[in-house]
Amino acid sequence: MSKAFDVVVIGGGPGGYIAAIRAAQLGLHTACIDEWKNDKGGPAPGGTCTNVGCIPSKALLQSSEHFEQAGHHFADHGIGLKDLSIDVKKMLGRKDTVVKQNNDGILYLFKKNKVSFFHGRGAFAGQKDGVWEISVTGAASETLSARHVIVATGSNARALPGAAFDEERILSNDGALRIGAVPKTLGVIGAGVIGLEMGSVWRRLGADVTILEGLPTFLGAVDEQIAKEAHKAFVKQGLKIEMGVKIASVTSDAKSGVSIAYADAKGAEKTLQVERLIVSIGRVPNTIGLNAEAVGLKLDERGAIQVDGDCRTNLANVWAVGDVVRGPMLAHKAEEEGVAVAERIAGQHGHVNFNTIPWVIYTSPEISWVGETEQQLKARGAAYKAGTFPFMANGRARALGDTTGMVKFLADAVTDEILGVHIVGPFASELIAEAVVAMEFKASAEDIARICHAHPSLSEATKEAALAVDKRTLNF
Ligand code: FAD
Ligand code: NAI
């Protein structure tokens, strides 16, 4: 029997589950379908983010950072440790517990907000009298009907041609989060966000990590000055990063591990032999099993669902959000789109400001930014002023023992409006929020420079960088 809903959301990642909650809050009768299974076969909503992305990677980053601190920095504080060891099984178990807490939290939120949850695969089954029919195939099979459908089916890891993921030796993000023992040697292809975060985790735990990157420039999307500072720090920590390589082949066997043949930046042929290899070369939008073609849902040349600025697809009352559409593949971008679409369905005017979406790379030092980079401003011939402030001159950073990096402000040369803020250093992930608020409210650098910031705090570096735009830092 058909169950009739105002809104059916396909996919329960951050785009989908948040869209469903917002739609329900707005009084729409809402269902969310998600097929992710936990190790017992039960539902595990939260998508890539919760199960094999943001949450477990941050759990392992935290554990491995504690290990790094204990091994290399506790002594600076006069704390002595004997026989430091890492129990990888326990560390992975803790990570799994954190993931489960998040899965359970989403199921609780569905109940609280009266969202009907269906565990299984959702697919377009057709349309009758302007109402969509969505089949759910799971433990039980049923058909739902919906006035509006929100597709939030996410993305999957891109494999290197000829090197399929086996999750034993050739690992996607999924396998990279489940390595059962610290490998002696670990290769990573792609010095992007996952490569740097996961490479850092296993390097901190003792692996000899080599990252092979195809492009000649390190973190090309990041402000050049910030990327250079981060690169310096990573190399000092022991991450080996080779830029401008061309991968020729990847072979693997149980005895000798993984062998990667490649040409280096100068064209010399080389081989890297490692126990395990993480391939992190980007992600592809996921529309598998959605029956998109049968109903004429248009995809673009990258396989993403084609949408307009408001996340409308080419089909009436079918919307799409998150990794499965254009734009940055970030959980908070997916969430914002989910909220905006739910509000549009309810007749409101939801809006996502793509100019103020923050980025964070959770390495140590952390990297974060919002707005334009200096190279982007130069490329568009913008008249701008820049101000930087090093954490070396910040009292709290010194007390923390973490003085790597800086805060950098870019502001319009005439109006002083903030055009971009770039941070590399301690708690950059938290510090960036102030810059996002400032840019959302079209603040000037002077606005931040005149706001009282607590002392001693890392946020004083933000204030000082804003002062630096006008060449009047107080502590440097
Ligand atoms: P997803 O989270 O991929 O969710 C899609 C869901 O839909 C999945 O549960 C899937 O099973 C389900 N699904 C798919 N098809 C169907 C179907 N036909 N029927 C039913 N269910 C279906 N982003 C950040 O902002 N911060 C981070 O720190 C961060 N760290 C990351 C670390 C890693 C290792 C990875 C891989 C990604 C990370 N990301 C991070 C990116 C983030 O995970 C994604 O941008 C985010 O999950 C996208 O959300 P989504 O809802 O669009 O899709
Ligand atoms: P990415 O796009 O960040 O990095 C991929 C890297 O691989 C790029 O530097 C690219 O030049 C390189 N590359 C591509 N093909 C290659 C090849 N054949 N040989 C060598 N190098 C090659 O993608 P990544 O790291 O896989 O992450 C996917 C996405 O997941 C990110 O773009 C981001 O949107 C999201 N993510 C976000 C995180 C965060 O917000 N902290 C953390 C992890 C992932």
pLDDT tens, position by position, 439-454: 999 999 999 999 999 9
Nearest residue by C-alpha to atom 35 in ligand 1: 53
Q: What is the CATH number of domain 3-157+284-352?
A: 3.50.50.60
Q: Specify the pLDDT at position 140.
A: 82
Nearest-ligand number for the alpha carbon of 323: 1
The answer to whether residue 19 scores a pLDDT higher than 60 is: yes
What is the rounded average pLDDT of the residues 329-338? Answer: 98
pLDDT digits (tens, 9 = 90+) for 359-400: 999 999 999 999 999 999 999 999 999 999 999 999 999 999
pLDDT band, very low/low/confident/very high, at 2 (cuts 50, 70, 90): low
What is the rounded average pLDDT of the residues 146-157? Answer: 98
Catalytic residue among 72, 73, 351, 455: 455
Please provide the average confidence, as pLDDT, over all residues in the chain: 97
The answer to whether residue 1 scores a pLDDT higher than 70 is: no
Q: Is 148 a catalytic residue?
A: no
Residue 323 Cα to ligand 1 midpoint, Å, equals 7
Ligand 2 pocket, residues with Cβ under 6 angstroms: 160, 189-195, 197, 212-215, 247, 280-283, 328-330, 360-362
What is the rounded average pLDDT of the residues 53-58? Answer: 98
Integer Cα distance of 123 and 125 in angstroms:
6
Give Cβ neighbours of residue 308 (< 8 Å, ≥ 6 apart).
none
Residue 157 Cα to ligand 2 midpoint, Å, equals 9
Q: Specify the pLDDT at position 314.
A: 98
Three-state secondary structure call for residue 426: coil
Pocket test for ligand 2, best of 280, 359, 369 (most atoms within 8 A of CB): 280
pLDDT digits (tens, 9 = 90+) for 287-305: 999 999 999 999 999 999 9
Q: Specify the pLDDT at position 370.
A: 98
What is the rounded average pLDDT of the residues 85-92? Answer: 98
Residue 188 Cα to ligand 2 midpoint, Å, equals 11
Give yes or no on whether 3-157+284-352 and 170-281 have one common fold: yes
Give Cβ neighbours of residue 381 (< 8 Å, ≥ 6 apart).
none
Give Cβ neighbours of residue 12 (< 8 Å, ≥ 6 apart).
20, 32, 33, 34, 36, 45, 46, 47, 106, 117, 152
Integer Cα distance of 469 and 463 in angstroms:
10
Nearest-ligand number for the alpha carbon of 263: 2
What is the rounded average pLDDT of the residues 172-179? Answer: 98
Q: What is the CATH number of domain 356-468?
A: 3.30.390.30
Domain boundaries, the chain: 3-157+284-352, 170-281, 356-468
- 170-281 CATH fold: FAD/NAD(P)-binding domain (3.50.50)
Residue 471 Cα to ligand 2 midpoint, Å, equals 36
The answer to whether residue 73 scores a pLDDT higher than 80 is: yes
What is the rounded average pLDDT of the residues 85-109? Answer: 98
Nearest-ligand number for the alpha carbon of 60: 1
Q: Specify the pLDDT at position 139.
A: 83
> What is the percent of the chain with per-residue pLDDT over 70, rounded to a whole number?
100
